[in-house]
């Protein structure tokens, strides 16, 4: 059965900053309700984690749901152990990184210390990747919407309200230094939600 456009969506998150951004970006597009459901996050690639999370959320809520998973990836670290080891390294890092490492890094280094992660590397480039998954309800296949933004890891500049916003620079400004609407116009989250909006528009025409 082809997925149909929902009239409302439950955005399942425990992160208040994400919720505020998603509400702002989807304002006037769809009725967004929020719910914090404690969901088990499996180990796997970012895409697998998000799709599985959407399935669990739909089963728990019994309504159309949206979930999101964000990660910040560093080119220097991926490239490090060479092409052969890369596969093993990347798999191990992806699964570990997703659930524990990135939170551990954020907690122990904080936004002010985050740049130290790449202290030994010349390449400071980083990619912010956002995966949203929409699931119409229990027993429906989730649909994935991905957005990516290239930037670099810098010493913290701007307010340290949201995760690594003050340490991720795009076009000369950190996310934290940008007006919210300017961040949304180029952010990983804004880009992923552009795809969701496009899908919603098409699905409601169909
Ligand atoms: O635009 C962003 N700007 C700066 N930092 C960000 C952003 N988006 C996520 N982050 C940070 C917050 C969290 O410390 C970490 C993992 O995010 P992530 O695991 O997806 O979120 P979470 O577990 O806090 O919420 P949820 O309940 O939706 O899974 O990345
Ligand atoms: Mg999470």
> Model pTM?
0.90
- CB 131 less than 6 A from any atom of ligand 1: no
pLDDT tens per residue, the chain (206 residues)? 567 789 999 999 999 999 999 999 999 999 999 988 988 877 778 888 899 999 999 999 999 999 999 988 888 776 333 333 344 444 444 444 444 566 777 777 888 988 888 888 899 998 899 999 999 999 999 999 999 999 999 999 999 999 999 999 999 999 999 999 999 999 999 999 999 999 999 998 87
Q: How many domains does the chain have?
A: 1
User: Between helices 16-25 and 188-205, what is the axis angle to 10°?
Assistant: 50
206 CA distance to ligand 1 middle (Å) = 33
162 is in an annotated binding site: yes
Q: Looking at the CA of 71, which ligand is closest?
A: 1
Residue 1 forms part of a structural domain: no
Q: What gap in Å lies between CA 43 and CA 50, rounded to an integer?
A: 10
Residue 161 forms part of a structural domain: yes
Residue 2 forms part of a structural domain: no
CA distances from 97 to 25, 52, 100, 136, 200 (A): 27, 17, 6, 29, 31
Q: Which domain holds residue 42?
A: 8-205
Q: Looking at the CA of 102, which ligand is closest?
A: 1
Residue 71 forms part of a structural domain: yes
- CB 6 less than 6 A from any atom of ligand 1: no
164 is in an annotated binding site: yes
CATH of the domain at 124: 3.90.950.10
Closest Cα to residue 40, out of 19, 14, 18, 62? 14
């Amino acid at each position: 059965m082809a997925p149909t456009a929902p009239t409302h969506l439950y955005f399942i998150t425990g992160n208040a900053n994400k919720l505020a951004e998603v509400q702002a970006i989807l304002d006037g597009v769809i009725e967004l309700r929020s719910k914090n459901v404690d969901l088990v996050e499996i180990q796997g690639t970012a895409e697998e984690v998000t799709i599985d999370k959407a399935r669990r959320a739909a089963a728990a809520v019994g309504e159309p749901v949206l979930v999101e998973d964000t990660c910040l990836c560093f080119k220097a670290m991926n490239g490090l152990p060479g092409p052969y080891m890369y596969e093993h390294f990347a798999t191990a890092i992806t699964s570990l990184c997703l659930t524990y490492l990135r939170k551990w890094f954020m907690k122990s280094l904080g936004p002010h210390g985050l740049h130290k992660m790449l202290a030994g590397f010349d390449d400071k480039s980083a990619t912010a990747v956002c995966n949203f998954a929409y699931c119409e309800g229990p027993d429906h296949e989730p649909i994935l919407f991905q957005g990516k933004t290239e930037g670099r890891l810098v010493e913290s500049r701007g307010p340290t309200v949201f995760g690594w916003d003050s340490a991720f620079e795009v076009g000369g400004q950190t996310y934290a230094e940008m007006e919210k609407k300017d961040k949304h116009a180029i952010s990983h989250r804004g880009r992923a939600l552009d795809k969701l909006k496009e899908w919603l528009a098409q699905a409601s025409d169909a």
